Amino acid sequence: MASSEIEIVSDSNDQKNSGQRPNEVVIIDVFGASAYGDFEKLRKYVEEDGVSLSQADGNGYYALQWACLNNFAAIAQYIIEHGGDVNDADNAKQTALHWAGVRGSIAAADVLLQSGARVEAADVNGYRAVHVAAQYGQTAFLYHIVAKYHADFDAPDNDGRSPLHWAAYKGFADTIRLLLFRDAHQGRQDKEGCTPLHWAALRGNVEACTVLVHAGTKQELVVKDNAGFTPIQIASDKGHRHVAYFLSNAWRAHSRSKRWEGVFIGKVGDIGFAPLLFCIFLCNLVLFINSILFAPNLRKITAAVGLWGWITVSLALGSMMMFYRCSSKDPGYINTSGELRDHPDVEDPLLNIDLNSSSIWTGNWSQLCPTCKIIRPVRSKHCSSCKRCVEQFDHHCPWISNCVGKRNKWDFFVFLCMGNLTTFLAFVVAVQRIWTVAPAVPSEETWMLFVVFQYPGIVAFLVMDTIMFIAAAVLMIAQASQIAQNITTNELANAVRYGYLRGPDGQFRNPYNYGCWKNCADFLINGYTDDNEIAWPPLQQIAR
């Protein structure tokens, strides 16, 4: 790319505001006037001095290239109208459209393409504008020329590398998301046998590897290049231990799921631990009734203890009902394009996607889901276990075999509260019941040993009840804290990755936090909070 010889100039808006060119650059020809956006001098050179705009400078660069590099669309239009050829190429066979791709000059690209520029023009390396955009991480530019001008986003260069290869090599995760969203071929191997995952592993780009692995078929993890190396081996050889660790774990998880699939009908991962937890609940409830409430070798139960005991049983049954609700309820799955296409009477927004007018688009490319092929709301996330995008994704809970999201988080929190209260009351009733056996304890034996050997059912119940109480209490406190802040578990764990969680100063700031009282009231009354109302505008909107 000729970018190393391209002079970096200040943004045109800064120049306009200051009224001065950076460092008081002296413009002596049409190339300088085009590069710095000096319309008056350009017109003087062309209309008064008769300078041609179809000639290159000493390095073989054209005035149109300089104008498009810096996104001076009006100057580009003027050059084209006064003799500039939109398809003129420099010594590296790069056109003005290639130069526009370096800085993502969308307005200038529109002028070029509407004036007849070839969107598939290739330079000496076989790079097209889509390759240049991927190399420089110009995701918006890439989307624009693909969506509006039908540029081939999967075209190989002379070495067999597609834009996805380049985006993976440079570590531009947003560009990778867009290309995968457009169904770019993730398993393509270049002339060296490398896939995009090989190149991402070579450079140690963790986020790029993460996006590729989650959107891929897992077969890319074991593809070997011409030298016989897999992406895992390349990452390890280059000293990128964090990448090698991530890729190794991804492959082991995939291998385990395959082994389990061969043992059981269906995937164990799809079933989760919900049946096991339900059995534990049921066993503990049976133990409580048989070994504590109706134990024949304990003293007769009093009315007060009996009342609290049956309240505990009622709460246990209610907890099991809430467990079933949050396990079976839709957590907030977002419809995929496939589901929409199955219904011809429903318009599929992906068939004619317009990010500029989408009601949920905020300029964050991480909203694109390469797997579901949808634009998801800001706080949503694709769950690799459920293989669906979940609105207001909190976390995937294997113990309920379901995600916790917008539509079932209220049920999940009520389940935790009821479970916590149930285990606490059961513990109190059980301790009260076994405390009544103290007078029957032989003098030569301690009360603890006597209870362990004489009432093993009660001891087993107390052990399981204590474990469940601690687990439920920790989860309930964590969820209550997050509800009070109106933030999800996923957002807390990945706050660095989400731009909307940063204020203008770059520090963490939650735009959905309206204060403890309103956050809790909205959640308890509605079951969820409204993402359309935010306390302050996110960083992307301020930047605009």
pTM: 0.75
> Residue written as tokens 């133990």?
287
503 in any annotated domain: no
Q: Which domain holds residue 192?
A: 2-210
461 in any annotated domain: yes
**Residues 372 and 302 reside in one and the same domain:** no
Position 64 confidence tier, pLDDT thresholds 50, 70, 90: very high
Average pLDDT over residues 66-76: 94
**Residues 164 and 291 reside in one and the same domain:** no
Q: What is the CATH number of the domain that holds 148?
A: 1.25.40.20
**Residues 90 and 202 reside in one and the same domain:** yes
**Residues 48 and 182 reside in one and the same domain:** yes
457 in any annotated domain: yes
113 in any annotated domain: yes
489 with 450: CB under 8 angstroms?
A: no
| Among candidate residues 404, 419, 454, the one where a domain is terminated | 404
**403: three-class secondary structure by DSSP:** strand
Between 341 and 246, where is the model more confident?
246
236 in any annotated domain: no
260 in any annotated domain: no
**Residues 350 and 417 reside in one and the same domain:** no
User: Would you say residue 410 has pLDDT above 90?
Assistant: yes
What pLDDT shows up at residue 103? 94
Position 65 confidence tier, pLDDT thresholds 50, 70, 90: very high
| Among candidate residues 353, 380, 404, the one where a domain is terminated | 404
Position 451 confidence tier, pLDDT thresholds 50, 70, 90: low
Average pLDDT, the chain: 83
**Residues 121 and 105 reside in one and the same domain:** yes
**Residues 315 and 381 reside in one and the same domain:** no
Q: Would you please indicate which residues are annotated as catalytic (active-site) residues?
A: 397
**Angle, helix 274-288 to helix 303-328, in steps of 10 degrees:** 170
Domain count of the fold of the chain: 3
**Residues 306 and 372 reside in one and the same domain:** no
**Residues 147 and 70 reside in one and the same domain:** yes
| Among candidate residues 382, 404, 426, the one where a domain is terminated | 404
375 in any annotated domain: yes
**Residues 393 and 482 reside in one and the same domain:** no
- Can you give 200-224 as a three-state secondary structure string? HHHHCCHHHHHHHHHHCCCHHHCCC
CA distance 163 to 358: 26
User: Would you say residue 26 has pLDDT above 50?
Assistant: yes
95 with 117: CB under 8 angstroms?
A: yes
Which of 238-242, 273-277, 290-294, 344-348 is predicted with the least confidence, judged by mean pLDDT? 344-348
The backbone region for 486, taken as left when phi is positive above 0, alpha when psi lies in -120 to 50, beta otherwise, is left
Q: Is 25 exposed, middle or buried (0-12, 13-18, 19+ CB in 10 A)?
A: middle
**Residues 202 and 287 reside in one and the same domain:** no
380 in any annotated domain: yes
**Residues 19 and 102 reside in one and the same domain:** yes
